Amino acid sequence: MERVRCLIIGSGPAGYTAAIYTGRANISPVLYEGLQAGGQLTTTTEVENFPGFPEGVTGPQLMENMRSQAMKFGADIRMGIVTKVDFNQRPFKIEIDEEKELLADTVIIATGASAKYLGLDDEKKYAGMGVSACATCDGFFYRNKTVAVVGGGDTACEEATYLAGLARKVYLLVRKPYLRASKIMQDRVMGNDKIEVLFEHNAVGLYGDNGVEGVHVVRRKGEADETRYDLPIDGFFLAIGHRPNTEVFAPFIDCDETGYIITKDGTPRTNVAGVFAAGDVADTQYRQAVTAAGSGCKAAIEVERYLVENGL
């Protein structure tokens, strides 16, 4: 069976950065790209906040750059999805695509988190044309425009507040008659005169000939006084939570109640020595390309130390 010194799972900024560092350290990393090669950034257009690109760079280009940089240092980048792991045995045993198996002395989990969508066909239809799940990434394009944010948690309040600093008007579409967000975030939203909170509102579709021009909403869905109307907007932001991609690791790796990997004391170490987590899969707070890249670097340095300490 093939044995590798470092297996990196995931191909976002965390995974590729870990591959660049472990590659340069002569560890000959093997990286499996997963379902969406390049990760979440491949679904955004312009990235203007990654340091080193004063003119901006497209998400796919940035990821392609990181990928070729990793390959330059000898990373073996492969297509495939990790379908099973056994972290009880050493070296760790990993199954790829439900068929191939390999052994790994160390593992870096960088499988990311996926934004949740409502599941409307229109979200796909207008993907990259007015639909976004990341205000920090795309808010800039809505300066002096009107946007809607869906959700009633801390993320939704934070995104609405951020967007209010750019947009002319922000609607917050909340399906319940109250916000779930922390009191401080609620106060921030309620005290912002650019934000209008529409309680008991569900988005059921989008319209527009050239990108999003509005959202079909239902007020008090299922009640006797249910009403439907159209709200003109330029941008539609989902903020109904993220789902970390941790299912296959959960039997071995400690995760919090929402599935995020728990790491130790600000390091990428998990509860299993030799298995590290980097990027959004272990980050409920920041979820930025640059923070993911930073944690991929940390994980690679941890791998290097672990291999030396264990004579591997």
Q: What are the catalytic residues?
A: 134, 137-138
Work out how close the CB of 100 gets to ligand NDP at its nearest, in angstroms, rounded to a whole number.
Answer: 35
Phi, psi of 24 (to 5 degrees): -65, -25
Interacting positions 97-136 with ligand NDP (CB under 6 A): 118
Pairing status of strand 100-109 against strand 92-96? antiparallel
Instruction: Cite the beta strand spans of the chain per DSSP E.
Output: 2-9, 30-32, 46-47, 57-58, 76-78, 82-86, 92-96, 100-109, 113-115, 131-132, 146-150, 169-173, 195-198, 201-207, 214-219, 227-232, 235-238, 242-244, 275-277
The Cα 231–Cα 102 span in angstroms is: 53
**Span near ligand NDP by CB under 6 A; candidates 22-30, 67-75, 149-157, 216-224:** 149-157
Candidates 82, 69, 139; CA nearest to 108 is 82
Work out how close the CB of 244 gets to ligand NDP at its nearest, in angstroms, rounded to a whole number.
Answer: 11
Interface map 38-67 toward ligand NDP (x if CB under 6 A): ------------------------------
Work out how close the CB of 175 gets to ligand NDP at its nearest, in angstroms, rounded to a whole number.
Answer: 4
Interface map 152-191 toward ligand NDP (x if CB under 6 A): xxxxx-x----------------xx---x-----------
Interface map 236-275 toward ligand NDP (x if CB under 6 A): ----xx----------------------------------
- In terms of Cβ atoms closer than 10 Å to its own Cβ (0-12, 13-18, 19+), residue 42 is middle
Work out how close the CB of 304 gets to ligand NDP at its nearest, in angstroms, rounded to a whole number.
Answer: 32
Count of positions on this chain that bind ligand NDP (CB under 6 A): 15
Q: Give the binding site for ligand NDP (CB under 6 A).
A: 118, 150-156, 158, 175-176, 180, 240-241, 284
